[in-house]
A = this chain, B = another copy of it.
Amino acid sequence: MSSPLNALVNHQCRLAARPVGLPKASDWQFTEQAVAEPGEGGVLVRTLALSLDPAMRGWMNEGKSYIPPVAIGEVMRAGGIGVVVASKNPAFAVGDTVTGGPGVQEYWAVPGDQIQRSGMARIDLRAGTVTQWLNVLGMPGMTGYFGLMDVGQPQPGETVVVSGAAGAVGQTVGQIAKLKGCRVVGIAGGPAKCEWVVEELGFDACIDYKAPAPGGVTKWDAVREGLKQHCPKGVDIYFDNVGGDILDAVLARINRKARIIICGAISQYNATAAVQGPKNYLSLLVNRARMEGIVVFDYADRYHLAISEMAGYLKDGRMKSKEDVVTGGIAAFPATLPKLFNGENFGKLVLQVAPA
């Protein structure tokens, strides 16, 4: 049997070496594979866009985590969205837009017996655009929503602080917290992000962790001063995406029964020395407070509820979604990923692989 698919080439980006510190060009390897017709029950998807997430850095490391590491030589794991170009599965038709984990490659071929565990699912582009489906309606949005609502349990009038405020998770957390009646203070790097978070997303304030504090000795003085100024009643919920010195600064200002959601630690992911533990963790004791980790996959059976709530907010304009879309396809992946760690990206970082 012949097919026009046979003429297509799948460009792939594979993990070539375990990075030390920030991933560099030589940690990646590009390969090409012929594209083939799917077998019985299988589906072939052309990748439209990939989600670039800080968690990817953890997947590149050896060792026990919430999912196994990407093996050396394996196509780099990535969430993304694509369009079905061939299907021998009744659940998926050619032309369907689907979300799932295609990896950093142009075509995602899923055999029939792996459809279920691949997590492939159709999405409705009337609820949001492709890039919104990778942002507030996707994993980052789900992480922010369930981390804030389930672990944080915000009450109206409470003060919520979120780091990485202009990032994919942070923008969801802050906007949901505002919608739930909280005072929201973001922490982000640079005046552009801070201004956007306040002016566009409606946060009550945003602390620029890169700004030198007046009379401050270290750059963290700006964060400490900002917290003091913008959280006059202390901090009830801290949604932490960054770890390090910012986590310590917030720990010093938490209220009784505060909840700290540990979602990530961007500041530590590329550390070549030991991770910096929160020196102020005994503030948890003094304040009878709680620090708790969240992994989004635990909420998979409730994603649809959060998506429907947030799609409603997007539709009626109560929620915004900002994506930083990089073009250039698979080849641009190695140079784009580091933007997540040097604070360069602004909004959810998306790699466009093919036009939608």
Residue numbers of A with Cβ under 8 A of B are 64-66, 243, 248, 262-265, 268, 274-295, 298
Contact = CB atoms under 8 A, between A and B. Distances in A.
A281 B279 contact: no
A217 to B, nearest CB: 15
Nearest to A263: B285
A290 B289 CA distance: 10
A12 B158 CA distance: 45
Given A66-B285, A274-B279, A288-B294, 4 more contacts: A65-B286, A262-B282, A285-B293, A288-B293
Contacts of A281: 262, 275, 277-278, 281, 291
Contacts of A264: 285
A64 B64 CA distance: 38
Q: What is the predominant secondary structure among interface residues of chain A facing chain B?
A: loop
What is the total number of copies of this protein in its complex?
2
Contacts of A288: 292-295, 298
Contacts of A243: 282
A228 to B, nearest CB: 13
A278 B284 CA distance: 13
Contacts of A289: 292-293
Contacts of A274: 279
Q: Considering residues A64, A281, A288, which has the most beta carbons from chain B within 10 angstroms of its beta carbon?
A: A281
Nearest to A275: B279
A292 B291 CA distance: 6
Contacts of A275: 279-282
A55 to B, nearest CB: 10
A49 B251 CA distance: 37
Contact of A279 (B262, B277, B285, B292): B277
Given A277-B248, A277-B276, A279-B274, A290 B292 contact: yes
A279 B276 contact: yes
Contacts of A277: 248, 276-281
Nearest to A265: B282
Nearest to A65: B286
A276 to B, nearest CB: 7
A162 to B, nearest CB: 16
30 contacts: A64-B286, A66-B286, A248-B277, A262-B281, A262-B282, A264-B285, A265-B282, A268-B282, A274-B279, A275-B279, A275-B281, A276-B277, A276-B279, A277-B280, A278-B278, A278-B281, A281-B281, A281-B291, A282-B293, A283-B293, A284-B291, A284-B292, A284-B293, A285-B293, A285-B295, A286-B295, A287-B293, A288-B294, A288-B295, A291-B292
